[in-house]
């Protein structure tokens, strides 16, 4: 696998990959790679495309009190994992390459960015949209792969791609989970053994709330919040929304149940699909 750090090298390397007429798929990441990221690489490979992964810990999507400084950066292990999985090219720009002096543009996707994590983390989705727009322009892929664990991020990117005519396919890949149900996340590395044991309350609460909601029961969300609180989580939100707009659920349309909560100093997010219902 070739690794490039400069935009000029990236452009040449991508042109080389396309040389034989191959499609190019992008897997954008912030590194600290795990099996969830590898599922994205594998899905991209299964499409027959050449796969470009990017690793860039994007300062613009971290708030001033968030974990930018301590965010894990295991570059050697990440490179090894991508090489073993047969990734074709790794784009690893530095902050100055991504945001040279004078950089002044902000991509903001209103509506779908506003609630949930957008409300809990002001500016976060502007940072995500800005860097993802840049990655799309840098690599110019035919498709890009994102995990459904970051469900609101996926919705923001889909909206941006449609609104700005990026002309590439956005593929959402189902969340990969530990055997007890905890969604894989680079931030799981922050959890102590005790927090890790209690963290399973998050997928359990969502699963119970999904079943209760689909069975037409009332009170599923307060019950999920109570079980999260009992496990020691501080809750940012547990919400049932329309799966496409992330606004109010609409009768007859797929829904999504999303949650964000902190255990100790670690903020975890998760979500599950909820079947459409005629009476929401
Ligand atoms: O999901 C992530 O890892 C990041 O938000 C992304 C999409 C790579 C943008 O920095």
**pLDDT value at 20 more than 90:** no
pLDDT at res. 280: 75
Give the separation between CA 86 and CA 100, rounded to whole angstroms: 31
User: Hey, which of 52, 54, 55, 58 would you mutate to test ligand 1's pocket, going by the most ligand atoms within 8 Å of its Cβ?
Assistant: 58
For the chain, the domains span: 2-173, 186-272
Q: What is the pLDDT of residue 279?
A: 78
CATH topology for the 186-272 domain:
3.30.1300
Domain at 2-173: CATH code: 3.40.50.620
pLDDT (mean) for 244-259: 96
- Indicate the pLDDT class of residue 278, thresholds 50, 70 and 90: confident
CA atoms 272, 266, 176, 93: torsion sign: positive
Q: Give the position, in ligand 1's atom list, of the atom nearest the Cα of 56.
A: 10
Please state, for a pLDDT cut of 90, what percent of the chain lies above it: 99
Tell me the per-residue pLDDT of 77-87, one tens digit each, with 9 for 90 and over.
999 999 999 99
Task: Verify whether ligand 1 is closer than 6 Å to residue 45 (CB atom).
Answer: no
- Longest Cα–Cα distance in the chain: 57
Q: Per DSSP, which regions of the chain are E strands?
A: 2-4, 24-29, 50-55, 89-91, 143-147, 169-173, 234-242, 255-263, 266-274
Given a contact cutoff of 8 angstroms between Cβ atoms, the answer to whether 150 and 31 are in contact is no
117 touches ligand 1 (CB under 6 Å): no
What is the residue whose two structure tokens read 């449609």? Answer: 162
Residue nearest to atom 1 of ligand 1 (CA): 29
């Amino acid at each position: 696998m070739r690794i490039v750090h400069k935009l000029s090298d990236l452009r040449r390397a991508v042109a080389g990959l396309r040389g034989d007429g191959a499609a190019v798929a992008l897997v954008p990441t912030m590194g600290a790679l795990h099996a969830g990221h590898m599922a994205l690489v594998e899905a991209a490979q299964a499409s027959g495309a050449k796969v470009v992964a990017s690793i860039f810990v994007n300062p613009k999507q971290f708030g001033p009190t968030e974990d930018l400084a301590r965010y894990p950066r295991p570059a050697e292990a990440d490179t090894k994992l991508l090489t073993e999985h047969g990734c074709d090219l790794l784009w690893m720009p530095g902050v100055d390459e991504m945001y040279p002096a004078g950089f002044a543009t902000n991509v903001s996707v209103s509506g779908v960015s506003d609630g949930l994590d957008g409300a809990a983390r002001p500016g976060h989705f502007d940072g995500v949209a800005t860097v993802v727009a840049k990655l799309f322009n840098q690599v110019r892929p035919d498709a890009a792969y994102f995990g459904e664990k970051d469900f609101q991020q996926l919705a923001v990117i889909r909206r941006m791609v449609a609104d700005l005519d990026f002309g590439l396919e956005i593929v959402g890949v189902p969340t990969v989970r530990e055997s007890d149900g905890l969604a894989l996340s680079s931030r799981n590395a922050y959890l102590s053994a005790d927090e890790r044991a209690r963290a399973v309350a998050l997928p359990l609460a969502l699963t119970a709330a999904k079943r209760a909601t689909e069975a037409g029961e009332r009170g599923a969300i307060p019950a999920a919040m109570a079980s999260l609180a009992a496990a020691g989580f501080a809750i940012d939100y547990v919400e049932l929304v329309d799966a496409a707009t992330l606004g109010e659920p609409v009768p007859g349309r797929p829904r999504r149940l999303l949650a964000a909560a902190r255990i100790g100093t670690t903020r975890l997010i998760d979500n599950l699909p909820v079947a459409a219902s005629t009476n929401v």
